[in-house]
Amino acid sequence: MPRSGSGRHRRWWWIGGGALLVAAVIAGLVFQPWLLFVDVRVEDEIPAAATPVASAPVASEPAAEPVDVVTPEPPAGPVDLLTGSLISHEHETSGQVRVIENPDGSRQLALVGLQTTNGPDVHVWLSAGPVVEGRDGWFTAAGYDHIDLGPIKGNLGDQLYDIPADADLSVFRSVDLWCVQFGVSFGAAALA
């Protein structure tokens, strides 16, 4: 006598197993856990900052003889406008940040000695938000204006990103390594 129940159970096992397999594939595509085990090192050439030329001291009393006014010459090479140190947010993150002005007036953001975890859809943001330590800082940048400088080139090493000419650095005073997919900061640096 055939068992009608065993055929149904087998079919439900196949349906359940197939559903679990589909869910695992979808979760893998969304979370991309393999990125935690893949490092991407970038070694962009970061320009060395020139030392600005000091101007001549100004006399506090009028001089008996005319004094030649010395106008300082602009530095011959790139100059650091702002710097900062990365702190960890959702992922362990360290390194230095420099905003560099080149002799032609263009500006670049340099990530120097970056160390963080690889992740899906991480971008480099100039942010108008403050840098907040701890878990509260993980989500802070989402509530403020930002300039997206593009996807992070790698999770290790030295990297350069062009800053748009119209970016107001008096407003955008922090850098966030922002995971767009999950709306969370991997790490951030206040610029001073």
pLDDT at 30: 53
- What are 8-38's pLDDT values in tens digits? 767 777 776 666 666 555 655 555 555 566 8
pLDDT at 49: 85
Q: Which residues contact 159 (CB under 8 A, 6 or more apart)?
A: 42, 44, 110, 111, 114, 124, 152, 153
Q: What is the pTM of this model?
A: 0.72
Residue 67: is it exposed, middle or buried by C-beta count within 10 angstroms (0-12/13-18/19+)?
exposed
- What are 42-51's pLDDT values in tens digits? 999 999 987 5
Q: Give me the percent of the chain exceeding a pLDDT of 70.
A: 71
Whether 53 has a pLDDT exceeding 50, the answer reads: no
pLDDT at 29: 53
